[in-house]
């Protein structure tokens, strides 16, 4: 249950991306460089989710693929699919709650609400094929970001902002952030649930999985496969030495 609640919290937190973009869009209208600054708002949700260690699909789920590729058993595959399913379900529930709150609660003025609608409608201009292609690149960039974290040290925040800002500037599709935007349209009556699923959700989810977990994880696995194999060999040797010492100690005790 902790995993699910963390995923729901992540979905809610990703609403900060739409909120920041909408507010920036209203108040930066006509300002030089407004496009760059407006899209900086996209990074807010990712910063909250990652720094708070919440469970986000395409972020915490990337590294989970590597053990399956190293040891592709039915058991490992089942555990991976369970992880994906719980995190994705929680994220979508959280985004739905966030989008509903943005629509129903008296928080924003009409200009900001219209900005939310304009931002979200831009997502829906893509065809299913474009959604998929954009999501492949988005998934790849987010997976690359995750891979950079161990080496980032104190620059982790900068890495998050830099990589997710790039996703925003490219108008790339992400299943969680995009769900906040598209569900906002569903709840205000601009589009139907069917349109949420197609052309948005299914092509975007497939694209994120393809780019962020399958392609990236395949390359990453090839990169670290030897290290993982060497670690396994070293562990086996250590276990063998341990058993040998235990056997010698038992023989000595029996001789006495």
Query: pLDDT tens digits, residue range 38-91?
Result: 999 999 999 999 999 999 997 766 667 767 776 778 888 888 889 889 999 999
From the number of C-beta atoms within 10 Å of its C-beta (0-12, 13-18, 19+), residue 59 rates as buried
Query: pLDDT tens digits, residue range 104-121?
Result: 999 999 999 999 999 999
Nearest CA to 116 out of 24, 6, 229, 226 is that of: 24
For residues 125-139, one letter each, b for 16 or more C-beta atoms within 10 angstroms of the residue's C-beta and e for the rest, the string is ebeeeebbbbbbbbb
Nearest CA to 213 out of 69, 49, 5, 9 is that of: 69
Describe the crossing of helices 43-51 and 156-169 by its angle, rounded to 10 degrees: 150
Q: What letter does residue 105 receive in the DSSP assignment?
A: S
Which tokens in the block code for residue 157? 């925040």
134 within 8 A of 199, measured Cβ to Cβ: no
Which tokens in the block code for residue 218? 């395949």
Q: How many other β-carbons are positioned within 10 Å of the β-carbon of residue 107?
A: 11
3-state SS class at 185: helix
CA 177 to CA 160: how far, in whole Å? 15
Query: pLDDT tens digits, residue range 189-226?
Result: 999 999 999 999 999 999 999 888 776 666 665 665 55
pTM score: 0.82
Query: pLDDT tens digits, residue range 120-170?
Result: 999 999 999 999 999 999 999 998 898 889 889 899 999 999 999 999 999
In the chain, helix, strand, coil percent, each to 5?
80, 0, 20
- Please report the DSSP string for 12-36 in residue order: HHTHHHHHHHHHHHHHTTT-TTHHH
CA 33 to CA 56: how far, in whole Å? 30
């Amino acid at each position: 249950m902790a995993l699910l609640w963390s995923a729901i919290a992540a979905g809610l937190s990703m609403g900060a991306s739409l909120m920041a973009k909408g507010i920036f869009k209203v108040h930066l209208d006509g300002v030089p460089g407004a496009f760059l600054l407006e899209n900086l708002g996209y990074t807010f949700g990712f910063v909250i989710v990652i720094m708070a260690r919440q469970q986000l699909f395409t972020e915490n789920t990337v590294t989970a693929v590597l053990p399956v590729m190293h040891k592709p058993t039915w058991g490992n595959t089942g555990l991976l699919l369970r992880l994906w399913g719980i995190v994705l379900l929680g994220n979508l529930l959280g985004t739905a709650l966030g989008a509903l709150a943005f629509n129903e609660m008296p928080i924003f003025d009409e200009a900001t609400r219209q900005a939310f609608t304009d931002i979200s409608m831009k997502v829906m201009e893509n065809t299913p094929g474009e959604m998929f292609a954009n999501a492949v690149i988005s998934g790849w960039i987010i997976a690359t970001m995750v891979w950079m974290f161990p080496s980032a040290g104190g620059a982790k925040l900068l890495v998050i902002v830099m990589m997710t800002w790039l996703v925003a500037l490219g108008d790339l599709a992400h299943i969680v952030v995009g769900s906040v935007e598209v569900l906002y349209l569903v709840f205000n009556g601009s589009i139907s649930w069917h349109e949420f699923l197609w052309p948005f959700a299914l092509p975007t989810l497939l694209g994120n999985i393809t780019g962020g977990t399958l392609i990236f994880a395949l390359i990453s696995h090839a990169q670290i496969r030897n290290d993982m194999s060497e670690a396994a060999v070293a562990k086996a040797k250590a276990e063998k030495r341990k058993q040998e010492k235990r056997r010698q100690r038992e023989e000595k005790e029996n001789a006495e």
